[in-house]
Structure 1
């Protein structure tokens, strides 16, 4: 029997690896209409902004590559460049980065806001965009602050870790490559461990209402002894998401070939923008898969350590209604109400 995810006890459960992956698609199957509507309201504008930026960037790059390829085939002079970066559209690249960051933040907030609203709303109450917006608006500042904090800690930590390890590696290697290589491996291992641990940051921030600093410590507390399980789940979810995005990438590859080979119809800038918008929307929307996988891993770890779902089930015992009797008379061989 498939889980409909309408009560808190449906979410707070211990799940093995396969059950967590199944829960992701069961949740999407049960709520795709209401969740999809919320994603269109809040996430689609950022994804389209990202797609327009990508289209501006790739159109100029592919056009230049097409002219260079045509000149090479014809044996003529390559297009003149005033600078090595002339074929880069930096405005488009900046727009794509801003749109991508905005889309990711809105996607995380919308998805986790929907999960939170569904967990703590009556089972028969539909989750509307207005309900999700109430959750999103209440935690938007905390989410932005948490993102900035992670970015700052990541940049500082990356610099410090590699600076120390490279200095140590240079001393250890004594002029050879062994020390620096070992330092790089150790650095990537440490960064990988921290990154996977902090992958639970947004579920903790949203579902526990912790502040941005306390959520970091909570991540390391929950993942203790389950780092490999979390890493494997995240890798699998991202792999599944990348398989789905291949479908959305086909139009952009067609446009790329059309522009590079200067094929009529396929070398249109408008078509290039449309293809990149479709690709950006596909990437952002399918990213629900790894984000939901992290939610169910968080719920699983909390349930293992604290038994929230078990307590909810115990609290529900004895709250059922006694079925009403259809008649006050029973035959001798009937047991009556029970």
Structure 2
């Protein structure tokens, strides 16, 4: 059986909603081993950093809940916000940012290698790392652009709220839906940037161009993929509740800080290892939109006609290579 999704033509196709969801899981089913290996190499280490930070934060919170269970009046809620809480919060934020960047870079680099490779073999971690390293600076710059746009939008919104004090609620009714509307095209920013090798601002403009007229289908795909991913991550949340009850009931091993950190590391690793569902779904939506607007896959298929080997004629009655029986 030939391998699936190993050539550019396998991606550049128009697909309806169900076909995009189906293609997402077909891709993951065909490439879970080599892609999973790349994720373990590049994403798992930074996800553990995020897990340790969250472990410090949640241990403080669960300890406070356990103390409140024993003697509610003697508990000061502000005691939770100590040095370990803020250091854990900073570590979790840094680890989360790095983990998301590495996750996105790994998935898109893997797909990019499949698009540009003529061989049917799956990309190796060494090849994926070369792709990541070549575009890592651009990814950080793209995040900087998005953060700058976000800060400008928030500043304008805060300024308008200060000026229109009485109409602040009405302003929120306009601005919040507008920001929500803009967030959907921005989800295609990184697929466009990393798969087309465009500039930072041209890629942002192109993501809005591609989603034009297909906002609802893009939003629906993200919603369904996110729901599937969310249901899968429930398994990874369960150890957190075990630690929480362990601290509240004073169970020696289950309520330890080390167990709390292990539970958070398990949780963050699970989230990041299931997040490719949404990223792969976005990739198929990107190719679907490009094909609908520009027909690149169809043109490539037409141009390739006649370039392959001629088919061998086969007829049961006429077989010139048959030597007969002697």
TM-score, structure 2 as length reference: 0.92
1:108-152 C-alpha deviation (Å, 9 max, x unpaired): 000000000011112323310111111111111000000011011
Deviation for aligned residue 1:104 = 0.0
* Alignment CA distance shift 1:209-1:87 (3 Å): closer
Correspondence for 2:152 among 147, 151, 156: 156
Q: C-alpha distance in 2, partners of 1:23/1:165?
A: 45
Correspondence for 1:291 among 252, 271, 279: 279
* Alignment CA distance shift 1:166-1:295 (3 Å): farther
Give structure 2 stretches of 5+ with no counterpart: 322-326
Q: Is the aligned partner of 1:135 residue 2:131? A: yes
Aligned to 2:265: 277
Q: C-alpha distance in 1, partners of 2:207/2:178?
A: 16
Alignment of 1:238-253 (within 5 A): 238-253=226-241
Q: C-alpha distance in 1, partners of 2:134/2:296?
A: 24
SS at match of 1:210: coil
Alignment check: 8 A CA contact 2:6 2:122 kept: no
Deviation for aligned residue 1:303 = 0.5
Q: C-alpha distance in 1, partners of 2:108/2:76?
A: 50
* Alignment CA distance shift 1:162-1:82 (3 Å): closer
Correspondence for 1:334 among 309, 318, 322: 318
Alignment check: 8 A CA contact 1:166 1:184 kept: no
Deviation for aligned residue 1:262 = 1.7
Aligned to 2:118: 122
1:162-181 C-alpha deviation (Å, 9 max, x unpaired): 5336745x4xxxx5xxx333
Q: C-alpha distance in 1, partners of 2:107/2:80?
A: 42
Aligned to 2:106: 110
Alignment check: 8 A CA contact 1:259 1:266 kept: yes
Alignment check: 8 A CA contact 2:7 2:120 kept: no
Alignment check: 8 A CA contact 1:7 1:119 kept: yes
Q: Is the aligned partner of 1:90 residue 2:90? A: no
RMSD: 2.3
Deviation for aligned residue 1:300 = 0.6
Aligned length: 321
Correspondence for 1:306 among 275, 294, 297: 294
Q: C-alpha distance in 1, partners of 2:174/2:122?
A: 49
Q: C-alpha distance in 1, partners of 2:2/2:251?
A: 49
Q: C-alpha distance in 1, partners of 2:275/2:303?
A: 35
Alignment check: 8 A CA contact 2:61 2:80 kept: no
Alignment check: 8 A CA contact 1:61 1:88 kept: no
Give structure 1 stretches of 5+ with no counterpart: none
* Alignment CA distance shift 1:65-1:189 (3 Å): same
* Alignment CA distance shift 1:2-1:28 (3 Å): farther
Deviation for aligned residue 1:263 = 2.3
Correspondence for 1:217 among 199, 205, 209: 205
* Alignment CA distance shift 1:118-1:82 (3 Å): closer
TM-score, structure 1 as length reference: 0.89
Q: Which moved more, 1:40-49 or 1:307-316?
A: 307-316
SS at match of 1:89: helix
Alignment of 1:1-338 (within 5 A): 4-72=4-72, 77-79=73-75, 85-86=81-82, 89-164=85-160, 167-168=163-164, 170=165, 175=166, 179-322=167-310, 333-334=317-318
Deviation for aligned residue 1:83 = 5.3
Deviation for aligned residue 1:156 = 1.1
